[in-house]
């Protein structure tokens, strides 16, 4: 950077109680292209810092009232002014005085009477160093920001990978249960229309089409989950992309119950389907909503002993909508459906409930499976993306009810 470039961008504060000295400084520094501020004592110099910060300070040592050393020490103790380079102007020639100037924070000094060329050289040197420090500081901040962004990207990727493994586990487990059930028995494969023709004891018959349809459904679920997770990872901010359409909740949960029959049987669990066909249509993403129910059911099986009973239920609720916070009466009501997945298991404490939906939070009662504490976090992300809310009501030895709200189709 040239002297002209430094001068055209730099402001210098001159602090001297001698008008003659100030006049000389103003003359050659203004000709050099610097913008100048003037103060005649330490107090007024400090006062100017409240309004504008100079790039460099030329500070006289010997002044009435607050002297140069004290003024410099004060400026260096303040966060806002500590990095401004200070050059002392002094007639003192003793080494002890020069050392004291450096000890209170000065970067250099010029002796009186001031030689303009020497002063300009020292000023430009320290302005160049100050500019370099600022650039290094800016680069360091930029580097720190890049590190934070990279960490955020790595966290997002880790969540994505964990989410894939987490959500694919349930449909794969269900399909494996069906296949193991097939392999564990002696089967006689028959066509859908074919029925046993004798009452004699025979090997159990297998409806091949029904089994294959269930496997195809499980594979479709896996593919849909992979697609939705890839879309979520591709989004600029980690979130859940939605493709909302009108949906009958009962139809979706009925298919869900059927798909979970093998896993429920393996846990000796019972799932009561209490969702009415009379509910209004929802405006939701069916694949994402399936994930919510699936994670809540899996969570109940994971954290409770065998034999637990689960219940699915839902009801319409209304929420008052105010056009203005100043109005006392609601202008309209908005309908939502409040869905619940309840169990009669071991329950949770209030402290456990408070942290349950945070990332990587796992229950303390889990004993049989390894997990990442990701399922309930994903549930919250999906429900929030729909504009709804999610929560849990539970107490020790009294089961748990997970609830969430979903919008009704207009």
Residue found by looking up tokens 């520094």 in the block: 29
Please give the residue that has the higher pLDDT: either 169 or 260: 260
Q: Which domains does the chain have, with CATH numbers?
A: 3-114 (3.40.50.2300), 240-410 (3.30.565.10)
pLDDT, tens only, 207-236: 666 766 677 676 766 666 665 555 544 443
Is the Cβ–Cβ distance between 314 and 249 less than 8 Å?
yes
Query: Could you give the CA distance from residue 160 to residue 165 in angstroms, rounded to a whole number?
Result: 9
Please give the residue that has the higher pLDDT: either 113 or 276: 276
For residue 350, the tally of other CB atoms under 10 A from its CB is 9
β-pair type (204-207, 245-247): unpaired
Query: Which residues does 8 contact at the CB level (< 8 Å), separation at least 6?
Result: 33
pLDDT, tens only, 328-376: 555 567 789 999 999 999 999 888 888 888 765 554 444 333 333 567 8
pTM of the model: 0.48
* Coil/strand/helix, residue 351: helix
Query: Judging by beta carbons within 10 Å of its beta carbon (0-12, 13-18, 19+), is residue 147 exposed, middle or buried?
Result: exposed
Query: Which residues does 357 contact at the CB level (< 8 Å), separation at least 6?
Result: 376, 377, 379, 380, 390
> 50-89 burial by CB neighbour count: b if 16+ within 10 A, else e?
eeeebbbbbbbbebeeebbbebbebbeeeeebeebbbbbb
pLDDT, tens only, 61-91: 888 889 899 999 999 999 999 999 999 988 8
Sheet of strand 86-90: strand arrangement: 35-39, 11-15, 56-60, 86-90, 108-111
Among 209-213, 286-290, 323-327, which is the least confidently predicted range? 323-327
> 225-260 burial by CB neighbour count: b if 16+ within 10 A, else e?
beebbeebbeeeebebbbebeebbbbebbeebbebb
pLDDT interval class at 285 (50, 70, 90): very high
pLDDT (0 to 100) of residue 386: 93
For the segment 195-212, the average pLDDT, to the nearest whole number, is 55
pLDDT (0 to 100) of residue 332: 61
Query: Judging by beta carbons within 10 Å of its beta carbon (0-12, 13-18, 19+), is residue 91 exposed, middle or buried?
Result: exposed
pLDDT (0 to 100) of residue 328: 54
Of 404, 393, 396, 389, nearest to 364 (Cα)? 396
Q: Is the pLDDT of residue 187 over 80?
A: no
Q: Is 96 left (phi over 0), alpha (psi -120 to 50) or beta?
A: alpha
Q: Is the pLDDT of residue 400 over 50?
A: yes
Is the Cβ–Cβ distance between 372 and 299 less than 8 Å?
no
pLDDT interval class at 154 (50, 70, 90): confident
pLDDT (0 to 100) of residue 259: 86
Please give the residue that has the higher pLDDT: either 80 or 206: 80
């Amino acid at each position: 950077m040239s002297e002209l470039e430094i001068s055209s961008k730099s402001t210098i504060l001159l602090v001297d109680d001698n008008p003659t000295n100030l006049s000389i400084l103003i003359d050659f520094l203004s000709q050099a292209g610097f913008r100048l501020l003037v103060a005649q004592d330490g107090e007024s110099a400090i006062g100017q810092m409240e309004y504008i910060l100079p790039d460099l300070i030329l500070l006289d040592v010997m002044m009435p009232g607050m002297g140069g050393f004290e003024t410099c020490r004060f400026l260096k103790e303040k966060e806002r002014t500590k990095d401004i380079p200070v050059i002392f102007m002094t007639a003192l020639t003793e080494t002890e005085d020069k050392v004291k100037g450096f000890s209170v924070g000065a970067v250099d000094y010029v002796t009186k009477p001031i030689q303009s060329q020497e002063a300009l050289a020292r000023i430009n040197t320290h302005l160049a160093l100050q500019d370099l420090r600022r650039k290094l500081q800016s680069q360091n901040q930029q580097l720190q920001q890049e590190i934070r962004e990279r960490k955020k990207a790595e966290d997002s990727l880790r969540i994505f990978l964990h989410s894939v493994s987490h959500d694919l586990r349930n449909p794969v487990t269900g399909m494996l249960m069906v296949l193991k059930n097939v392999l564990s028995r002696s089967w006689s494969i028959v066509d859908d229309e074919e029925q046993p023709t004798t009452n004699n004891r025979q090997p159990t018959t297998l409806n091949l089409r029904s089994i294959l349809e269930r496997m195809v459904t499980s594979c479709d679920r896996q593919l849909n989950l992979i697609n939705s997770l890839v879309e979520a990872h591709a989004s600029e901010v980690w979130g859940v992309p939605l493709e909302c359409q009108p949906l009958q909740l009962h139809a979706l949960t009925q298919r869900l119950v059927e798909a979970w029959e093998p896993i429920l049987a393996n846990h000796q669990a019972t799932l009561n389907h209490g969702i009415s066909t009379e509910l209004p249509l929802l405006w939701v993403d069916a694949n994402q909503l399936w994930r919510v129910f699936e994670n809540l059911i899996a969570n109940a099986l994971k954290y409770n002993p065998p034999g637990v009973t689960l219940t699915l239920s839902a009801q319409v609720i209304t929420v008052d909508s105010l056009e203005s916070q100043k109005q006392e009466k609601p202008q309209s009501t908005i309908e939502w459906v409040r869905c619940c997945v309840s169990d009669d298991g071991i329950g949770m404490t209030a402290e456990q409930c408070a942290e349950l939906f945070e990332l990587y939070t796992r229950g303390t009662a889990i004993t049989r499976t390894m997990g990442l504490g990701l399922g309930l976090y994903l549930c919250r992300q999906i429900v929030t993306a729909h504009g709804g809310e999610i929560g849990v009501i539970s107490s020790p030895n009294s089961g748990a009810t997970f609830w969430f709200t979903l919008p009704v189709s207009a």
